[in-house]
Amino acid sequence: MRTVPPSTLKVYLVQRLRESILSGKYKPGDRMNESMIAREFGISRIPVREALFQLQESGFVTNHKGKGMFVTCLSEEDTQMINSTRLVLETEAFKLARARMTPETAAALTRLVDRLEAWKGDVADSAAMDLEFHRTVWEASGNPYLIRTLEPLLSVLFAHKTLEHVSLELHQWRLNHHRALLDVLLNPAPQDVRGALLMHLRMAYNDPERFSSFVMPVPSAAPLRPVSGTEIAAPAAGASEEPVALLGVRSLRTAARNPIRS
């Protein structure tokens, strides 16, 4: 191996290992053996460990406790669970970002979409820009807990998707759909935010909403039984649906006004 300055050794290793993952030298589920990598590059294990930790932060590798680092491998069910959670959280983030949109954020998002549409070639670079677009929206939401929750979920998901081998045309088509998301964010008219996000996810994943309540059938209302034992029928179609708690309060008020006399 050629000599690499110590100050750039970790950066160099991260780049080389990421390239090895993307090229298929290391496949999803393969172990990233520190000792073997250190011998391959003729270096100690310490910079290898640091590089693997950085790859873990970006989602390319996963730490299996007691076993070491492995190239991220998600099943289709894993991606569906992550995306079902993502759909709920990102819908909220997009709605908040719309309400808090500033000219500066709008300009930053527009520049990112322009870059995504001009992308050519490097899949890892496009994934980084894609994730940056979504991060910018999360930050615009003003809720740091949304960011903290979404960041680890999507870092793993985006890295896993980067390993997918699809045509450049299909990949570009997916990237271009960010323009539709930008329109939803910047259009002051009422928007179906959840619908736009769901369409965006369906362009890259099968049944991304599978593990969310959005696909669960709504159960028919069952008769309500208050403490008194008198059955209250479920409201008919089109009838006013008062909350159960309000019905209970009104029943108590009626009883107080008309006490039972012995």
User: What are the tens digits of pLDDT across the range 95-152?
Assistant: 999 999 999 999 999 999 999 999 987 888 888 899 999 999 999 999 999 999 999 8
Q: CA separation (Å) from 197 to 96, 104, 172, 180?
A: 14, 23, 18, 9
123-140 vs 168-176: helix crossing angle, rounded to 10: 10
107 found inside a domain: yes
CA distances in angstroms from 1 to 38, 45, 78, 220, listed in the order given: 11, 15, 38, 68
Number of other residues whose CB lies within 10 A of the CB of residue 236: 8
Degrees, nearest 5: CA angle 110-111-116: 95
Whether residue 245 is contained in a domain is answered as: no
pLDDT bin (cut points 50, 70, 90) of residue 34 is very high
Contact by Cβ (8 Å): 157, 59: yes
132 part of a folded domain: yes
168 with 186, same domain? yes
- Does any domain span residue 247? no
> In which domain, by residue range, is 19 found?
6-71
Same domain, 109 and 167: yes
Q: What is the CATH number of the domain that holds 22?
A: 1.10.10.10
In this structure, the answer to whether residues 116 and 62 fall within a common structural domain is no
Structure confidence by residue, pLDDT tens digits, 147-170: 999 998 998 999 888 888 888 899
* 200 domain-assigned: yes
What is the residue whose two structure tokens read 């190239």?
A: 71
| 221: pLDDT strictly greater than 80 | no
Bridge partners (DSSP) listed for residue 71: 61
pLDDT in tens, 57-86: 989 999 999 899 999 999 999 999 999 999
* Mean pLDDT score, 37-54: 94
Residue 221 counted as domain residue = no
Q: Which of 18, 123, 124, 35 is nearest to 71 (CA)?
A: 18
Domain boundary among 71, 91, 109: 71
Residue 48 lies in a domain: yes
Report the candidate in 209, 208, 244 with the shortest Cα–Cα distance to residue 223.
Answer: 244
For the residues of 188-202, what is the DSSP string, one character each? -S---HHHHHHHHHH
pLDDT at residue 7 is higher than 60:
no
For range 43-55, the mean pLDDT? 94
